[in-house]
Amino acid sequence: MSLIKLHNVDAFYDSAQILDNISLEVNKGEKVAVLGRNGVGKTTLINTLLGIAKVRSGSIQIQGKTFKNIRSFDAVRNGIAVVPQGRRIIPSLTVEENLLMGEASLRKGNWNLNSVYDLFPILRERSQIMGTALSGGQQQMLAIGRALMSNPDLLILDEPSEGLAPIIVDQLIDLLNDLVKKGTSILLVEQNISFILNVVERYLVLSKGRVIEKGSAIGVTVDNLKKYISV
């Protein structure tokens, strides 16, 4: 079953066209990566699902429903959760309050404050401090925990490894693979190719707002893909 399906999407910020004829489908159980250099439109692709970038032609379906003028709560209520680039922890809220923001979708499932704390015990220990007082790696856990609180079918992560130490990135790989085993599908936007190859089974490459390459990640090496991200 298709969780998200973009078909021939042209997307804009005001009059600036950023995405050109993008098609992308992620089905239940799949793990898919989008890669490409800075500024090619990776975040904009995610923003089309949140109504932040405007779709002028083509279509967007979530769980088989077509959305015109989609808004961010349409996505989250239909099982799509985003861990945004830069994590976007709300500075005026505690760790726990940040997590509770994710509950707003009112979707029922296995994820709640307690199960997220079981997954990330450090967040339970630090639940009453301000979210932005956490370390970078802990803020990434918080951003993922907040997304899980909406019990998503598809977790979309926008450059989650950015700014994290390699050992934390390794933990993130294990975490994502565990989430997949529990039934969560993953759309991973990344520039860290070894991270991508340790998590996904297929990938798309964006350049200047277009898909210029796609394929299976099985048997692919870091060397095969690094031309798509190095300057």
Ligand X SMILES: Nc1ncnc2c1ncn2[C@@H]1O[C@H](COP(=O)(O)OP(=O)(O)O)[C@@H](O)[C@H]1O
Considering only residues 12 through 31, tell me which ones interact with ligand X, judged by CB under 6 A. Answer: 13, 16, 18
Judged by CB under 6 A, the residue of 3, 4, 26, 40 near ligand X is: 40
Pairing of strands 2-13, 54-62: antiparallel
CB-count exposure of residue 22 (10 Å: 0-12, 13-18, 19+): buried
Residue 75 touches ligand X, criterion: CB under 6 A: no
Residue 39 contacts ligand X per CB under 6 A? yes
* Residue 58 · residue 212 · CB < 8 Å: no
Residue type, 228: Y
For 198, half-sphere exposure in the C-beta direction (CA atoms, 13 angstrom radius) is 17
Give me the least distance between CB of 19 and ligand X, in Å please.
8
44 binds, among ligand X, Mg ion, none (CB under 5 to 8 A by kind): ligand X
Query: How large is the angle between the packed helices 136-148 and 166-181, nearest 10 degrees?
Result: 10
The pattern of x and - marking residues 77 through 116 that bind Mg ion according to CB under 5 A reads --------x-------------------------------
Q: Which two tokens stand for residue 204?
A: 């798309």
Nearer to ligand X, 149 or 187 (CB): 187
Q: Give the nearest distance from C-beta 210 to ligand X in angstroms.
A: 12
CA–CA gap between residue 114 and residue 98 (Å, rounded): 14
List the one residue from 43, 151, 184, 191 that touches Mg ion (CB under 5 A).
Answer: 43
Q: Tell me how far apart the terminal alpha carbons of the chain are, to the nearest angstrom.
A: 37
Should residue 41 be labelled a site residue for ligand X when binding is judged by CB under 6 A? Answer: yes
Told to check if 48 binds Mg ion by CB under 5 A, we report no
Contacts 24+ apart (CB under 8 A), 210-214: 210/19, 210/20, 210/21, 210/22, 211/22, 211/23, 211/24
Q: Which does 98 bind (CB under 5 to 8 A by kind): Mg ion, ligand X, none?
A: none
According to the binding rule CB under 6 A, does residue 123 interact with ligand X?
A: no
- Residue type at 104? A
Using the contact rule CB under 5 A, the part of the chain among 19-27, 35-43, 51-59, 139-147 near Mg ion is: 35-43
Tell me the residue type at 6: L
Enter the tokens of residue 84. 């945004």
In this chain, which of 3, 6, 9, 43 binds ligand X, going by CB under 6 A? 43
What is the binding site for ligand X (CB under 6 A)? Answer: 13, 16, 18, 36, 38-44
Report the interface residues with Mg ion, using CB under 5 A.
42-43, 85
